[in-house]
Chain A
């Protein structure tokens, strides 16, 4: 008589696993990181490396505190992705300790306090970002100018490590408005959108520099979609939720409201649509719920950009809809098998 090991059915499994999924998300993010370093300075890459490093350290520390296996859990790669997404949202000109603060909030408060990966109701990276923008408004709104050439590597490195610039460089020389900042200010000064549009801050698609970043994110997102890592519902619904109100308003009042193209290709729209809103843990899980969730983010994004007090609002919109996910899930249960079609 021969003995065998026991295991529950099913006995076969697909090759995909969480680690591989996270690796592919990072891969899809890579071109936009390189592009951002090119357009906005080496700070983008620096932030990425710092945030990932901090994220892994904080994750390891939290796991140890919680008595969980450190090494094998780290390998799921979720901390690396959270760090990377936070870094993508940060201005590429930021002292290292602010990045560290954001990572601690994201990983320790945003994830482990709720019970670790899979239990967090909020997108950890966006939670970290929002805490930073609320706490350090001065640092967090200091972006490299959207039309000036990217700041050189030396001032950026100096600033990141010490929080000050080398004596030869002036802060005003390398920072300036982002296209969405510019739009806000000009609209407040009663310029019309068509007048603003003609300025140097806008390219054929959206904001200068940012349109290319958005294209890179879009490309990465489409690749993820083709690999079925990102499902179509959330990005499509989000972009629709952003397009629809901006289209209606720009048709009604073309002077006051920029059209959908600007919204789609400025700020962090594509990053939010394909990389952030699609974080499965904090998103809705039902097929219909994902449409509502994505659409809600899109509409909120447009509302805050148009009427709120922040120029961009991906993080706020995502967190607000995160809050609504349990409700959405509860009311969008799929039709029960065998129940009559409603």
Chain B
């Protein structure tokens, strides 16, 4: 890559135009599985952001020395190291959250978003744009995780940040808000189908907004939210 894209455009790409969850549809497996509450979303989002940022920096910095033929194992090694660190940190400081996220923390290694950014972007540019891109993509991913998590928590359990102590310790207990009476939650939202329906609605909403801005044909003419 010769020209480095400007900062603002990198941020816009990651958060909106090329949002990893809503447009590229990458990393959906952990996204759908753990987004049962906003706090879970924040937790996994932060972990992914950390790994993405670290791996992008490392990949970009080491791109001169890594032979093309073995780049993928090297990327995986870097990512796996970072994931192990995150896993140990989570286990040490937020055991509740770690239990809630379960297998999806170690599985960050396999999140195609991270490997994808390393291969497609970080390994071709300097560390500054690589870090910016990782930040933007990680934030975009986290944003969807949090929104979807909050949505599902709200609809499914009637609370918001109801399990904040998982992330913030006992001090976070007061943060939760109960909006619906006890057993009135729309349980489906917390079950796997709820994740799919919720994500589908978010994608539809994004398309709707984009089309409204573009002044294009009604939503039914859309081919869907498939990545370009």
Residue of B nearest to A109 (CB): B197
Residue interface mask A209-231, B partner, CB < 8 A = 1: 00000000000000000000000
Interface contact A138-B197, CB-CB below 8 Å:
no
Q: A66-B218, A66-B220, A109-B197 are in contact. Are A138 and B188 (CB under 8 A)?
A: no
Known contacts A135-B185, A136-B187, then 12 further A-B pairs from the complex at CB < 8 Å, ordered by chain A residue: A66-B218, A66-B220, A67-B218, A67-B220, A115-B220, A131-B188, A134-B187, A135-B187, A136-B186, A137-B187, A138-B183, A163-B184
Check A205 for interface membership: any CB of B closer than 8 A.
Answer: no
Q: Which residues of the other chain, A, contact B103 by a CB distance below 8 angstroms?
A: none
Residue interface mask B191-222, A partner, CB < 8 A = 1: 10000010000000000000000000011100
CA A19 – CA B197 in complex, angstroms? 32
Residue of B nearest to A132 (CB): B188
Check A236 for interface membership: any CB of B closer than 8 A.
Answer: no
Interface contact A101-B197, CB-CB below 8 Å:
no
Interface contact B188-A135, CB-CB below 8 Å:
yes
Q: Which residues of the other chain, B, contact A101 by a CB distance below 8 angstroms?
A: 186
- What is the size category of the interface that chain B forms with chain A? 10 to 19
CA A66 – CA B222 in complex, angstroms? 12
Residue of A nearest to B186 (CB): A135
Q: Which residues of the other chain, B, contact A136 by a CB distance below 8 angstroms?
A: 186-187
| A97, chain B: closest CB distance, angstroms | 8
Residue of A nearest to B200 (CB): A113
The residues of B with any CB-CB pair to A shorter than 8 Å are: 183-189, 191, 197, 218-220
Interface contact B188-A134, CB-CB below 8 Å:
yes
CA A67 – CA B188 in complex, angstroms? 29
CA A134 – CA B191 in complex, angstroms? 9
| B194, chain A: closest CB distance, angstroms | 9
Q: Which residues of the other chain, B, contact A109 by a CB distance below 8 angstroms?
A: 197
Per DSSP, chain A at the interface is helix
Beta-carbon contacts under 8 Å, A15-48 to B: none
| A111, chain B: closest CB distance, angstroms | 14
Q: Which residues of the other chain, A, contact B191 by a CB distance below 8 angstroms?
A: 134
Q: Which residues of the other chain, B, contact A115 by a CB distance below 8 angstroms?
A: 220
Which residue, of B183, B185, B188, has the highest number of chain A Cβ atoms within 10 A? B188
Residue interface mask A264-307, B partner, CB < 8 A = 1: 00000000000000000000000000000000000000000000
Q: Which residues of the other chain, B, contact A134 by a CB distance below 8 angstroms?
A: 187-188, 191
Residue interface mask A109-144, B partner, CB < 8 A = 1: 100000100000000000000010011111000000
Beta-carbon contacts under 8 Å, A66-87 to B: 66-67
| A91, chain B: closest CB distance, angstroms | 15
CA A217 – CA B187 in complex, angstroms? 31
CA A101 – CA B187 in complex, angstroms? 12
| A170, chain B: closest CB distance, angstroms | 18
Residue of B nearest to A67 (CB): B218
Residue of A nearest to B204 (CB): A113
CA A67 – CA B217 in complex, angstroms? 11
CA A115 – CA B183 in complex, angstroms? 34
In the A-B complex, the 5 residue pairs with the closest CB atoms: A135-B188, A135-B187, A135-B186, A67-B218, A131-B188
Q: Which residues of the other chain, B, contact A137 by a CB distance below 8 angstroms?
A: 187
Residue of A nearest to B191 (CB): A134
Between A and B, 22 residue pairs with Cβ closer than 8 Å are: A66-B218, A66-B219, A66-B220, A67-B218, A67-B220, A101-B186, A109-B197, A115-B220, A131-B188, A134-B187, A134-B188, A134-B191, A135-B185, A135-B186, A135-B187, A135-B188, A135-B189, A136-B186, A136-B187, A137-B187, A138-B183, A163-B184
Residue interface mask A303-340, B partner, CB < 8 A = 1: 00000000000000000000000000000000000000
| A162, chain B: closest CB distance, angstroms | 11
Q: Which residues of the other chain, A, contact B183 by a CB distance below 8 angstroms?
A: 138
CA A134 – CA B188 in complex, angstroms? 6
Residue of B nearest to A137 (CB): B187
Q: Which residues of the other chain, A, contact B189 by a CB distance below 8 angstroms?
A: 135
Residue of A nearest to B217 (CB): A67
Q: Which residues of the other chain, A, contact B220 by a CB distance below 8 angstroms?
A: 66-67, 115
Q: Which residues of the other chain, A, contact B218 by a CB distance below 8 angstroms?
A: 66-67
CA A138 – CA B186 in complex, angstroms? 11
Beta-carbon contacts under 8 Å, A130-187 to B: 131, 134-138, 163
CA A131 – CA B186 in complex, angstroms? 9
| A82, chain B: closest CB distance, angstroms | 19
CA A125 – CA B197 in complex, angstroms? 18
CA A101 – CA B189 in complex, angstroms? 12
Q: Which residues of the other chain, A, contact B185 by a CB distance below 8 angstroms?
A: 135
CA A109 – CA B197 in complex, angstroms? 9
| B198, chain A: closest CB distance, angstroms | 12
Q: Which residues of the other chain, A, contact B219 by a CB distance below 8 angstroms?
A: 66
CA A137 – CA B189 in complex, angstroms? 14
Q: Which residues of the other chain, B, contact A163 by a CB distance below 8 angstroms?
A: 184
Q: Which residues of the other chain, A, contact B184 by a CB distance below 8 angstroms?
A: 163
CA A331 – CA B184 in complex, angstroms? 44
CA A122 – CA B4 in complex, angstroms? 50
CA A109 – CA B187 in complex, angstroms? 17
| A322, chain B: closest CB distance, angstroms | 15
| B3, chain A: closest CB distance, angstroms | 43
CA A1 – CA B93 in complex, angstroms? 93
